[in-house]
A = this chain, B = another copy of it.
């Protein structure tokens, strides 16, 4: 059962391994938490994010797989024989997190030890000089300021991996008393999600006229977006959006979000109404209709239909 700490040296990485670039969307586990707080189940714990706790960049660095495999540190056969199941990352500020060894060694996993972001040296606030980028996995596993790697039979220690911080509790759990926290799997991959970016809440559209709806969609584990449906009648009828930038990604390595747009028609009479969207990913998972049945005390993984309330303008011409 080998626990092998590996100290990381950027110069060494750059010298020994080819640079790989990957465009990745990184999402906080608590993205869209605020929508949970508006349900009858009440407040969750944590920052009340809207849909903005995610972002996308092109990272450049060394493939973690290359380091493990070609330094003779770990390969699938030795991992199995030694009982190594997790690769842990330890940062300069002592944070620990880990990912399953299968993701680390996956030839199509694209896990990076990144020292560049959008073609520039990785800025300190984004984890420079060196951070882990784990495409398709929740933000917290993308450890910033990484200094050491440990291959281990166990997950990393600490609250971010083994504590309550990134565990998905059942809707009925309203206290941590009596709950077997370690028995609940740490969040790694996240579910399919989407959001309407325009129009924004409170926007006004012209009666009976077409208006554009735009947004993005993304799914965990590299699962590509195969379709986004948008409704102006609460889900009774759906119009399928056109997939734009991001839709050309490989359906199993779609690490970045996909943009979409669709034209809807406004109702003919003045009223407030709701538009909503739901995405389907390459495994044909889709988004749940409402946040209530997936509500959880930590407010994680809210991927319910995204709903935006807008209204139809009063048509003053009628009164002329």
Binding site for B on A (CB under 8 A): 76, 100, 102-103, 105-108, 168, 170-172, 184-185, 187-192, 220-221, 223-224, 226-227, 229, 235, 237-240, 251-253, 278, 280, 282-290, 292-294, 300-301, 303
Contacts and interface: CB of A to CB of B under 8 A. Distances in A.
Nearest to A138: B284
A103 B253 CA distance: 12
B229 A171 contact: yes
13 contacts: A100-B251, A102-B108, A103-B252, A106-B106, A106-B107, A168-B226, A170-B240, A184-B226, A189-B282, A191-B284, A220-B283, A285-B285, A285-B303
A240 B172 contact: yes
Per CB-CB distance, the 3 closest pairs between chain A and chain B, nearest first, are A189-B283, A191-B285, A285-B285
A105 B251 CA distance: 16
Nearest to A293: B235
Contacts of A240: 170, 172
Given A100-B251, A189-B282, A283-B189, A172 B239 contact: yes
Given A190-B284, A287-B288, A289-B289, A171 B238 contact: yes
Contacts of A227: 168, 170
Number of this chain's copies in the assembly equals 2
A282 B188 contact: yes
Contacts of A293: 229, 235, 238, 278, 286, 289
A302 to B, nearest CB: 10
A11 to B, nearest CB: 27
Listed residue (A172, A184, A286) with the most chain B CB atoms within 10 angstroms of its CB:
A286
Nearest to A235: B293
A141 to B, nearest CB: 13
Contacts of A224: 185
B235 A292 contact: yes
A274 to B, nearest CB: 14
A287 B303 CA distance: 11
A301 B284 contact: yes
A246 to B, nearest CB: 15
Nearest to A40: B236
A14 to B, nearest CB: 22
Given A100-B252, A235-B293, A284 B168 contact: yes
Nearest to A185: B226
A284 B238 contact: no
A89 to B, nearest CB: 18
A235 B39 CA distance: 14
Given A100-B252, A293-B289, A76 B191 contact: no
Task: Identify the interface centre among A103, A192, A288: most chain B CB within 10 Å of its CB.
Answer: A288
A190 B282 contact: no
Contacts of A237: 171-172
Contacts of A189: 223, 282-284
A155 B214 CA distance: 32
A230 to B, nearest CB: 11
